[in-house]
Structure 1
Amino acid sequence: GVFGRVKHYYGVIEAQNHGSLHLHILIWLEGALSPRQIQDKVTNDGIFQNRLFSWLDSIFLRELPPNTYPADSLQNRNCILNRPPHPDSDNFEEIWSQFLREVLDASGQSHSHSNTCFKKISCSMSLLTLNERNKLCCFDYPIDLAPETFMDDDGKIHFQRTDGKVVAYNALVSGSMQCNTDGKFVGSGAFGMALSIYMSNYTAKASLDSAVIMSALAAATASLRKLEEDLPIDSVQEHC
């Protein structure tokens, strides 16, 4: 698979308030070491450290594809599920990079502050300066930049990052699923337990009432119809 040989996985699908589906999934890989074993080997085995860090940097990217240009957000959001470029195309690498950039832009893979970032404080985002927003964001964006991946004295892995706002993603997963993702490596026991509890809470959480779901679907349908009315038909067909 994309990440290696999968031993087991556990996922929880949630229907969000606006009607879209949201998936939390844990993936166990065959032959994976425990967090303590990883920390010991990274500390004492330079070859293992280089291989692990190279693998992590290859499966989770934290910058937008180079030599690409921003997507037209309106058209791209309207036709996000485009057919991916064919691998046999002569200039596949160039086409793929731009296609992936458009998917990442349309799905909001680069974090931008919203009121949700500050829902835990009693202050409107409009009253905060940019510096205050960056410090108070509950998602901790932007993330500190790092020239290379390394492990600190506490055993936490800090990943190579040249863009503090891009949420970690896998190119193949994002390009095929064409949706927002947030990939994380579970490198500590505490983090693994926290994720397990978090997902267990989702499993046990009561589902939305049918009336709420239908109201969300009706609102989404009305919104799509309004968007189609505002966007010229020729423009939509040309982009799709």
Structure 2
Amino acid sequence: MMVKLFIKHVSGIGSEQPGLYGNTSAYYGTVEQQGRLTLHLHLLLWITGSLSPQEIRNNMMEVNSEFRQKMIEYLEGVHQGHFIEKTMSEVENDVKYAESDPVYKNPTETLPDIPPEPCTHPNDPQCPKCDMSNKWWIKFKGITNDLLYRSNIHSCGDHCLVKGICKARFPRPIINKTVVDDNDGSILLQKLEERLNTFTPALTYLLCSNSDVTSLLSGTALKAVVAYVTDYITKTPLKTYTIFQTIRDITIQAIDSRVYTGNLM
């Protein structure tokens, strides 16, 4: 059900409104079981009207073109590699302060609040609806940063290190400002946190969990994804007994944890 809702409301498939990333012409998704026995979704979206990597490159080569400006605005608008208006240390302090409040709830264990209806006029501090909307946006940024701090920070360990090198390519280079290489048209998006993967703020807020969003703008990236997707297509889907085995293992882990901590009811 969650995947179906995601496809409809986030991707815009079967909806009267466009998706979060634009009008979706096609998609492919598959569910994978992690080593921790949790399920997660891999999804590829094809955006209607998208140009080929070569066409994008040719247009990006025009230094002062409107296309270059709009492309950068779009990419920076749909995903980013840093916290919202704050650094990691600032977010860490905010989270610790929030946790000191007895009524604080871990956002990974809650559902997102619906935004209020926006006003049709410019923002007015004297307008009750505008004030409500402004407060919601402040809360949105705080919760999203909290979720990112809990879920999106990569810590290297045995799960990713091969001969001392991280398979997930962390830490990643810091890029203070989005730049375009005038020689080949390649785009290096702004990224201010070396251990934070790229994400879409609205998607993080909706899912209340980790997510990783990447735009594929090069032929090399597309070829890699073709191989990646092909690997998933040819994988044997989860069998019923595998699902029940997963439920059993999780239940046993939960019981063992309760016995260990003395919380078994």
Scaled by the length of structure 2, the TM-score of the pair is 0.71
How many correspondences in the alignment? 213
Using the alignment, how far apart are the partners of 2:149 and 2:247 within structure 1? 25
**Conserved 8 A contact 2:61-2:184:** no
Match of residue 19, structure 1, among 19, 37, 46: 37
**Conserved 8 A contact 1:117-1:138:** yes
Using the alignment, how far apart are the partners of 2:224 and 2:176 within structure 1? 28
For 2:79, give the aligned amino acid: F
- Asked if residue 137 in structure 1 is aligned to residue 156 in structure 2, the reply is no
1:85 corresponds in structure 2 to 113
Q: Map residues 43-122 of structure 1 onto 2, 5 A cutoff.
A: 43-44=61-62, 46=64, 47-66=66-85, 68=91, 69-70=94-95, 76=106, 80-88=108-116, 89=132, 91-106=135-150, 108-118=151-161, 120-121=162-163
2:23 corresponds in structure 1 to 5
**CA deviation vs aligned residue, 1:85-107 (integer Å, no higher than 9, x gap):** 3322451111111211222233x
Compared CA separation, residues 222 and 84, structure 1 to 2 (3 A): same
Using the alignment, how far apart are the partners of 1:231 and 1:143 within structure 2? 42
Using the alignment, how far apart are the partners of 2:236 and 2:191 within structure 1? 38
1:149 corresponds in structure 2 to 178
What secondary structure sits across from 1:83 in the alignment?
coil
**CA deviation vs aligned residue, 1:211-230 (integer Å, no higher than 9, x gap):** 55433322222334556675
Superposed displacement of residue 59, structure 1: 0.7
User: What's the C-alpha RMSD, in Å, of the aligned pairs?
Assistant: 2.5
For 1:110, give the aligned amino acid: I
Name stretches of at least 5 consecutive residues in structure 2 with no aligned partner.
Answer: 1-18, 100-104, 117-131
**CA deviation vs aligned residue, 1:173-208 (integer Å, no higher than 9, x gap):** 111122211111110122112102211111111245
Superposed displacement of residue 44, structure 1: 1.4
**Conserved 8 A contact 2:29-2:43:** yes
Superposed displacement of residue 82, structure 1: 0.9
Question: Percentage identity across aligned positions?
Answer: 22
Using the alignment, how far apart are the partners of 2:34 and 2:224 within structure 1? 22
Superposed displacement of residue 81, structure 1: 3.8
Using the alignment, how far apart are the partners of 1:93 and 1:112 within structure 2? 29
**Conserved 8 A contact 1:19-1:213:** no
Using the alignment, how far apart are the partners of 1:176 and 1:221 within structure 2? 27
1:127 corresponds in structure 2 to none
Compared CA separation, residues 95 and 177, structure 1 to 2 (3 A): same
Scaled by the length of structure 1, the TM-score of the pair is 0.78
2:128 corresponds in structure 1 to none
Compared CA separation, residues 179 and 54, structure 1 to 2 (3 A): same
Using the alignment, how far apart are the partners of 2:255 and 2:141 within structure 1? 31
Match of residue 29, structure 1, among 47, 54, 66: 47
